[in-house]
A = this chain, B = another copy of it.
Amino acid sequence: MRPRLQRAALELFSERGFDRTTAAEIAALANVTERTYFRHFPDKREVLFDGEAAMQRSLADAVANTPARLAPLPMLLQAFLSVVPMFESDRELKERRHRVISATPELQERELTKLAHLTDAIGTALEHRDVPPHIASLAATCGIAVLTRVRLEWLAGDTRDYPALLADAFADLASLFDLNAGQGFSSTAV
């Protein structure tokens, strides 16, 4: 039921825009009553954010299950690599969702809140792996920065696969302090 409502919502949001679509119209396209719609989602916005809790759980579990004790960012790379199938699923739906959100400031704010919650979930998972809180929150934010960039590259049709995109982004992260990382920075001292 929920995936059906999501497909219907994306269909209408893509066609007419988010603002000019009602929950009733989404329900009608999905062939259910408005009441049924509101049993699943509190408003027309949340239908786009249904995967949030599942994503949080998957990433937290992935951090919990990295096989060895690692430094925080290598731990996150391992964790992200272990859930690549989740990142790669439903490509067409993700593309549509991305276009709708990019066109709607209200949805962008909601997306930022989702990312903030995801950052908190990853930070907490790192703390459970004995990373001190003030380090865990920095690492989680960097991890989300990587995921955000990789997602955009993947949606833009980058030729690298998801594991390669993740590895490259973490390598770039590691190079941010490096004066000679081959990024064309000159090496004047700090």
A64 beta carbon closer than 8 Å to chain B: no
On whether A138 and B176 interact (CB within 8 A), knowing A113-B109, A183-B132, the answer reads yes
Cβ-closest chain B residue relative to A115: B112
Mask, A57-69, CB within 8 Å of B = 1, is: 0000000000011
Q: Are B112 and A177 neighbours in the complex by a CB distance under 8 Å?
A: no
A43 beta carbon closer than 8 Å to chain B: no
C-alpha spacing A74/B189, complex, angstroms: 9
Q: In the assembled complex, which residues on chain B have CB atoms less than 8 Å from the CB atom of A181?
A: 71
A residues 149-184 in Cβ contact with B at 8 Å? 149, 153, 169, 172-179, 181, 183-184
A residues 3-57 in Cβ contact with B at 8 Å? none
Q: Are A70 and B142 neighbours in the complex by a CB distance under 8 Å?
A: no
Q: How far is the CB of A104 from chain B (nearest CB, A)?
A: 13
Cβ-closest chain B residue relative to A108: B113
Give the interface residue-count category, chain A. 35 or more
Assembly stoichiometry (copies): 2
Q: In the assembled complex, which residues on chain B have CB atoms less than 8 Å from the CB atom of A95?
A: none
On whether A176 and B112 interact (CB within 8 A), knowing A184-B130, A185-B69, the answer reads no
Q: Are B109 and A176 neighbours in the complex by a CB distance under 8 Å?
A: no
Q: Are B113 and A71 neighbours in the complex by a CB distance under 8 Å?
A: no
A188 beta carbon closer than 8 Å to chain B: yes
Q: Are B73 and A135 neighbours in the complex by a CB distance under 8 Å?
A: no
Can you list 10 pairs linking A and B with CB atoms under 8 Å apart? A68-B189, A71-B179, A72-B176, A78-B190, A109-B110, A112-B112, A134-B172, A141-B145, A142-B145, A145-B145
**18 more CB-based (< 8 A) A-B contacts, given A70-B188, A71-B185:** A68-B188, A69-B185, A69-B186, A71-B176, A71-B179, A72-B176, A112-B116, A130-B185, A134-B149, A135-B172, A135-B175, A135-B176, A137-B149, A138-B142, A138-B172, A138-B176, A141-B145, A141-B148
